[in-house]
Amino acid sequence: MIRLATLFSGIGAVEQALIRMNKDYKIVFACDNGDIDIDIDTEEIRNIVFNMKSKKQKKDYVDDLYKNKSRKQNYVKQSYLANYDIKEEDFYADVRFLDGKDYKGKVDLLVGGSPCQSFSSVGYQGGLDDVRGTLFYEYARIVKETQPKVFIYENVRGLTTHD
């Protein structure tokens, strides 16, 4: 069985691919904020979250932030939870506050691709000056912390030629 984790999970494209290939998999965690932007001090929140002891404490803290600072619904999360065998406690709202060390050695395949608008030839092309472009570093951090057997990073061509 493949232990799968996804970042920027969206509709679950890799999950659908595994289903179509009749591969047995279990979702370890998934993460997508559904394009909800909240006004917070990211560094302060990271310091708080990454100093908490338990995975549940960290997740509950971040979930409460999203609940209290945004009136929007995370429809990506709702859809993902409805379509895949995953507990809500394993779905994260924000990659910036996901502590990959909690999953070290527990992931076989990590898949994701940060938002492409920053690098796409049809997008804004703000690169690393666009906050969405900096989420690439969060993906790299999660790879380093979880140490999956394999990872797949999907994005647009402009990612390797920009900045």
Whole-angstrom Cα distance, residue 129 to residue 126?
A: 5
Q: Look at residues 102, 100, 88 and name the one whose alpha carbon lies nearest to residue 53.
A: 102
Mean pLDDT of 31-50: 87
Identify the active-site residue in 111, 116, 142, 159. Answer: 116
Residue entry with tokens 């472009």: 133
- Residue 116 known to be catalytic: yes
**Residue 38: predicted pLDDT:** 76
pLDDT tier at 36 (50, 70, 90 boundaries)? Answer: confident
pLDDT tier at 85 (50, 70, 90 boundaries)? Answer: very high
Give the tens place of pLDDT for each residue, 120-160.
Answer: 555 565 555 555 557 888 999 999 999 999 999 886 565 55
**Residue 42: predicted pLDDT:** 86
- CA dihedral sign, ordered 152, 154, 159, 161: positive
Give the tens place of pLDDT for each residue, 106-115.
Answer: 999 999 987 6
